[in-house]
Homo-oligomer: A and B are copies of this chain.
Amino acid sequence: MIDKRVSTLADMVADCPDLRDGAIVLIGGFGDAGVPEKLIETICELGLRNLTVVSNNAGSGDYGLASLLKAGCVGKMVCSFPRSAGSIIFEELYAAGKIELEIVPQGTLAERIRAGGAGIPAFYTATGFGTPLAQGKETREFDGRHYVMERAIRADVALIHARTADRWGNLTYPKTARNFNPIMAMAAATTLAEVRRFVDNVAPEEVVTPGIFVTRMVEIGER
């Protein structure tokens, strides 16, 4: 029987060979909405090193992603907006030259992740053409307009947050906490989800992330 539910975050994380030093890790969320905080904090305890983390923001306060940064697990951040209110830990690491940063326009970041999940190795976008963020990138003209070629992002692990899940891994998300979670679920070899509530069956027309994209998940309760 297919059953992707695991009892504890610690068990789920321990049984994930793709979580290793140097791994590329997608982390869902935008600001504080939809960030898999409990899952991130469990991973902190693994003491991993040199992770490349792809996430829209670079954490705030000392919880969630910021705790992973503080623990020294992250060698590089790929994000669109690391300068959120309270992203002090990231800013300190950045100022000290202890972390690499790749800034990507937010829509390009989303599309690169979606492309990774959809088997598209590269695509063209007008976003960023003529700006410093296109420096060193190949450009090309189509029908009289200039575009930048962008490469897909594929990861070893995606960490996501969802509202409900059934045993097959079909997911729904709460409101704007949906954000990057569904596309990140598509773009990793292993997708781990923290889920507020397990249900018997997500209605087939209301599924946002089909179970095919989900490897393992743990129920964390409503916030």
| In the complex, chain A residues 203-217 whose Cβ is within 8 Å of any chain B Cβ | 204-206, 208
A143 CB contacts on chain B under 8 angstroms: 121
A124 touches B121 (CB 8 A): yes
Mask of A155-184 contacts with B, CB within 8 angstroms, 1/0:
000000000000000001101000000000
Answer yes or no: A14 CB below 8 A from chain B CBs: no
Pick out which of these stretches binds chain B: A36-44, A55-63, A84-92, A111-119: A111-119
Answer yes or no: A223 CB below 8 A from chain B CBs: no
The bracket for how many chain A residues form the interface is 20 to 34
B172 touches A205 (CB 8 A): yes
Q: Other CB < 8 Å A-B pairs besides A121-B147, A205-B208, A206-B206, 8 of them? A: A111-B120, A115-B123, A120-B123, A122-B142, A123-B123, A172-B205, A175-B205, A205-B206
- 9 smallest CB-CB distances across A and B, nearest first, come from A123-B123, A121-B142, A120-B123, A122-B124, A121-B124, A206-B206, A121-B147, A122-B142, A120-B125
